[in-house]
Structure 1
Amino acid sequence: MEDIIFEKGEKITTIALNRPDALNSLDGKMVEELSAAMEDIEKDDEMRVAIITGKGRAFSAGADLKGGFPLGDPKVMGMKFVEISKPVIAAINGLALGGGLELAMACDIMIASEDAELGLVEVNIGILPAAGGTQRLPRIIGKHKAKELLFLGDRISAKEAKDMGLVNKVVPADRLMDEAKDMAKRIAEKAPLAVKEIKSVVNKGMEMNLDEGIECELEGAMRLMGTEDFMEGIKAFSEKRKPVFKGR
């Protein structure tokens, strides 16, 4: 892999977009490498959480209009390749514009540096966000505020993004990766099957009415009750010790 840096640690994988001279703009090659990396994480039972960040002064400035962004590729539609069963954290350094912000929004948690700037700016060149932006943004911040940002195509600060619920946390730039890794470590210590089930139930429930969502939730709970991890959790609680979860 040339356009990303792919590093596996204890239960956590870090992916760094590595085209700093191009502000980590997304082209076909980078998308292919990202997709392959996410597939690898999904298949590796030792990995429980992924972090995506960018090298240099940008998370990603969006689609590489000169290098051939593969807009029609099914992998790119909605940034679906990011949607693995395990939690994915976006550590947003600097610019996250257009497709870069769409990539971040496809993650489960977004942590931004204080100097980050975010925006879906496509309207400024006569097109709309076509990698999930028009659908994810209103689901995250509500349709009226989303339409304002989409119609204007303005950049917003990390603080503004935090205030409207677009990002989870804003931290000093020199603390960004430490914060992302700390959160990833805390998640990785939890029961992995439960974490996966929570992600699945929440995501499915967003497309259901309340009654359907509650039924989906119950089905997820029933699946977990038959796992070794659930029994370990109950046993550890009664023995007043920290549980050791094995993902079984």
Structure 2
Amino acid sequence: MGNDNAPRLDPALEAGNRRRLAGYAAKHFGWSVDGKVATVTLNRPERKNPLTFDSYAELRDLFGQLRYATDVQAVVVTGEGGNFCSGGDVHEIIGPLVRLSAPELLMFTRMTGDLVKAMRACPQPIVAAVDGVCAGAGAIVAMSSDLRLGTARSKTAFLFNRVGLAGCDMGACAILPRIIGQGRASELLYTGRSMSGEEGERWGFFNRLCEPDAVLAEARKLAADVAAGPTFANGITKTMLHQEWAMTLEQAIEAEAQAQAICMLTEDFKRAYHAFVAKQKPVFEGN
């Protein structure tokens, strides 16, 4: 029940702020779109799907573009071959890093942090389908997703201190305690030990556990269910979940009042009302 009398968007404004990503050709990982759900597949299974300088940069840029996507309403991130991601490639990242100067190292660490920023800033909910090894930067990618499905054999490790680095990498000290609590996050970041799938579910890192051969399908189903909802409002929810970290309760309540008032102007809000009156299930269109 759209508004046929709504003003048309100026073509120049639309060209600069709306784009389709179904036809995007990824160079350093897999990318596919089925309906409203896109899937990012880390696809170097022979090395347990490590990240490289190239894949970091492309992932950062792609998640940045998702802010303007009109055809993708949820994203699944997964890995090939029974593992999620083993982190930064030892030979293609760790080795070169030990030879870089401080300005170049800061360029790298800012790039990796910008990936997390882009994941948190894109309005699409992100579902991580985690099986097997999920370590280092891979654990960060899972952590930075909105929802996480794991398996009993998932092994998630924030192992930065195992390579002589601080646990405060790519937002881990800010985000992980908010998911599993300060004490549990401290343990993982100080020791670098693996968190098992059962432990991750018990601690709230994983929303639930699935069988290994079903985790990707379950993640896609969850993403599709979310994408079938009021996607503009979902984007507002994601924004508020992120922004309210730095707000007082009074500021958060006022921000939510303004955000909800905006959502009440959407056609999806009207669709939900008319469907309720007609005793039907609403069909949301994201506007």
- 1:168 paired residue number: 207
Give the secondary structure class of the aligned counterpart of 1:199: helix
| 1:141-185 superposed Cα distances (whole Å, 9 cap, x missing partner) | 111111111111111211001111111111110110111011111
- 1:77 paired residue number: 113
Distance 2:172 2:46 in 1: 25
For the aligned residues, what is the CA RMSD? 1.6
> How is 1:75-154 mapped onto 2 (pairs within 5 angstroms)?
75-77=111-113, 79-83=116-120, 84-129=122-167, 130-154=169-193
Give the secondary structure class of the aligned counterpart of 2:77: strand
Which amino acid in 1 is paired with 2:157?
G
Conserved 8 A contact 1:53-1:90: yes
Give the secondary structure class of the aligned counterpart of 2:209: strand
Distance 1:76 1:165 in 2: 25
The Cα shift of 1:33 comes to 2.3
Distance 1:100 1:167 in 2: 14
| 1:67-98 superposed Cα distances (whole Å, 9 cap, x missing partner) | 12676343411622222111011111211111
Which amino acid in 2 is paired with 1:86?
Q
- Structure 1 residue aligned with 2:219, among 180, 195, 198? 180
Give the secondary structure class of the aligned counterpart of 2:262: helix
Q: TM-score, normalised by structure 1?
A: 0.94
> How is 1:48-67 mapped onto 2 (pairs within 5 angstroms)?
48-67=73-92
- 1:12 paired residue number: 37
Conserved 8 A contact 2:82-2:212: no
| 1:27-64 superposed Cα distances (whole Å, 9 cap, x missing partner) | 11111222233234332212110000001132111112
Conserved 8 A contact 1:6-1:37: no
Which amino acid in 1 is paired with 2:231?
P
Distance 2:119 2:106 in 1: 15
Distance 2:196 2:222 in 1: 22
The Cα shift of 1:107 comes to 0.6
Which amino acid in 1 is paired with 2:118?
F
Larger radius of gyration: 2
Give the secondary structure class of the aligned counterpart of 1:58: coil
Conserved 8 A contact 2:236-2:259: yes
- 1:228 paired residue number: 267
Q: Where do 5+ consecutive residues of structure 1 fail to align?
A: none
> How is 1:181-220 mapped onto 2 (pairs within 5 angstroms)?
181-220=220-259
Q: TM-score, normalised by structure 2?
A: 0.82
- Structure 1 residue aligned with 2:279, among 215, 240, 243? 240
Q: What percentage of residue pairs aligned between the two structures are identical?
A: 28
User: How many equivalent pairs are there?
Assistant: 248
Distance 2:61 2:242 in 1: 22
Distance 1:228 1:55 in 2: 39
